[in-house]
Amino acid sequence: MARYGMVIDLRSCVGCQACSAACSIENQTPYWSDKWRTKVKDIQVGHYPNTARHFVPTICMHCKEPACMAVCPTKATFKNDEGFVLVNYDTCLGCKACMAACPYGARYVYSKEDVRKAQEIYGDSAQHNKVHIDKCTFCQDRIARGMEPACVTTCPTASRIVGDLDDPNSEVAKDVATGLAKPLRPDLDTEPRVYYIY
Amino acid sequence: MAKPMQLERQEAFEWPVAVYIFFGGFGGALITLSYIFNFFKATGSMVGLAALSGLVFFAIAGLFLVFFDLERPINAIYSLNNVSKSGISWDIVLIVLNYVFGILFVIPEFANISALSGLASALAPYQVIFGAIAAIAGFMFPIISGGLLSAPASIPLWHTPALPLLYLVTSFSLAIAFIGAVFGPEGAVYTAFMGAILALTAITFGISLAYLEHTHNGPIEAKEGMHRMLKTARFVILYPIVGVLFPLVLSAYLFFSGASITWAMPALAIALFFGGFAARNCVVNNGIETYPWPY
């Protein structure tokens, strides 16, 4: 079974936020409340005249050792057979312990107001009918259909690539193996499956 | 080029979590103390009322958790799924144990109420066992609920064993002062109460210093969180001054001089109440995390 991972190249990200929009359309995330499964952080560093601007897209890292899963009281956060970290909307308690535990700020509350608004907008095709903690699913349904996640497909600069981390011939595996792509916060031992080139 | 980290306040926990941790710890400590009093054959009213007030404070904690924090409280029925790892699972188990066995423990104390006399006499032989279970659950609650905060490594201000320990000790010092204020003990009992408050407040002082050290020498997020707390007048006045130094000085004076002041116990209870709440609320409010920028 493929062990999918993602590499995000920050050198080419232009901060257009097309990934956020595509994700929101695909997964009906509550953009009206400014909640996103993938966010593009615009950070400015340095002091004049030595300043720089960087765009850093963040998503759930689908860690091998997810801090969010350990703290979940109902085991609503779980890993599926492919190792993706997912949330069972039916048993989620909404305690937000996973939000506090996640070092990558990848989670948010799909609140009662958001559910109401989603049903108003999407009607019978609404994907979120219950209050729950929401996060990136790595577009499970698209992966199952042999497609790439929406954020990857839509990226105009191809800054995001997806592939099998266990396949030494995949571009993703090569970037990781050569050390070009690195995980964020390796000190936390969460072993993310999303890597960054910067 | 300077590459500063971007520090942001955590968005998960708000003030209801502080209320929950505070009243849960306070209630748990009261129930544990009522069991200890019962063990040492203290008067029935002290045992019964201490346990009852503990249950009330526990109820306040539970209500805040259910109505202000949990998005779908009914799903708490699934919380036994992850008792081995989740602090919230343990909290819910402890609340239930504390409540069920706390009630079973306290009923025999009210055998003089005719409606309860039959049930009280039936439960009386098992009171020690019920009380022991409730007391252990009550003792564990501040530790486990403090652990709820100290678990996430992503928020270094919280990520220290000092927090559960601090919440345990401050819960018990407040509970002792509260019982002292309500029952107005005299003589040797008054001195024992004052000695206990002095000892616990001295431990609180020591833990607070260790916590300050942890934040001072810890990661930048912990330092920033403490910096923000220390810039808040409410925290500085309510915790170090009102909640620690005042009780420490007053209890030390009364314990070592053998003097007794009427207003001392209520004043200590009030000071420890506000200090204890500030210690929780300000820590929750100032949980700072860093987005894991590579820069």
pLDDT at B44: 63
Distance CA B170, CA B26 (A): 8
What is the distance of C-alpha B80 from the center of its chain?
23
Residues of B in contact with A108 (CB under 8 A): 11
How close B33 gets to chain A, by Cα (Å)?
Answer: 29
Token digits of residue A60: 């759930």
Output the CA angle A49-A52-A55, nearest 5 degrees. 160
pLDDT band at B294 (very low <50, low <70, confident <90, very high): low
pLDDT band at B90 (very low <50, low <70, confident <90, very high): confident
Residue that the structure tokens 């599926």 belong to: A80
Run of H or E including B188: helix B187-217
Residue that the structure tokens 């792509």 belong to: A181
Distance CA B140, CA A148 (A): 48
Token digits of residue A159: 């800054």
Of A75, A100, A112, the CB nearest to B13: A100
A and B: number of Cβ contacts within 8 A:
140
Average pLDDT, chain A: 94
CB B138 within 8 A of CB B32: yes
ipTM, two decimals: 0.84
Residues of B in contact with A112 (CB under 8 A): 71
Q: Rounded to two decimals, what is the model's pTM?
A: 0.89
Residues of A in contact with B72 (CB under 8 A): 92-94, 130-132
CB A12 within 8 A of CB A159: yes
Please list, in sequence order, all residues whose beta carbon lies within 8 angstroms of the beta carbon of residue B69, skipping any fewer than 6 positions away. Answer: A95, A96, B13, B14, B16, B17, B20
Run of H or E including B101: helix B87-106
Distance CA B196, CA B208 (A): 18
Residues of A in contact with B18 (CB under 8 A): none
Residues of A in contact with B95 (CB under 8 A): none
How close B295 gets to chain A, by Cα (Å)?
Answer: 8
Return the residue of A nearest to B159 by Cα. Answer: A101
Q: Say if the Cβ atoms of B154 and A70 lie within 8 Å.
A: no
Residue B154 sits at the chain A interface (C-beta within 8 Å): yes
Distance CA B283, CA B232 (A): 11
Residues B239-273: tens digit of each pLDDT: 999 999 999 999 999 999 989 899 999 999 999 99
How large is the average pLDDT for residues B226-250?
Answer: 95
Residue A183 sits at the chain B interface (C-beta within 8 Å): no
Residues of B in contact with A131 (CB under 8 A): 71-72
**Could you tell me which of A131, A91, A68, A59 has the C-alpha nearest to residue B69?**
A131
Output the CA angle A184-A187-A189, nearest 5 degrees. 90
Residues B94-146: tens digit of each pLDDT: 888 988 999 999 999 888 888 888 999 999 999 999 999 999 999 999 999 89
Return the residue of B nearest to A54 by Cα. Answer: B295
Return the residue of A nearest to B154 by Cα. Answer: A103
Token digits of residue B277: 């709440």
Q: Say if the Cβ atoms of A76 and B78 lie within 8 Å.
A: yes
Give the 3-state secondary structure of residue A106: coil
Run of H or E including A189: none
Whether B163 has a pLDDT exceeding 80, the answer reads: yes
- Percent of chain A with pLDDT strictly greater than 90: 86
Would you list the DSSP string of B33-80? Answer: HHHHHHHTT--HHHHHHHHHHHHHHHHHHHHHIIIII-SSGGGGGGGG
The more confident residue out of B148 and A113 is: A113
How large is the average pLDDT for residues A130-149?
Answer: 95
Q: At B39, which amino acid appears?
A: F
pLDDT band at B3 (very low <50, low <70, confident <90, very high): very low
Residue A10 sits at the chain B interface (C-beta within 8 Å): yes
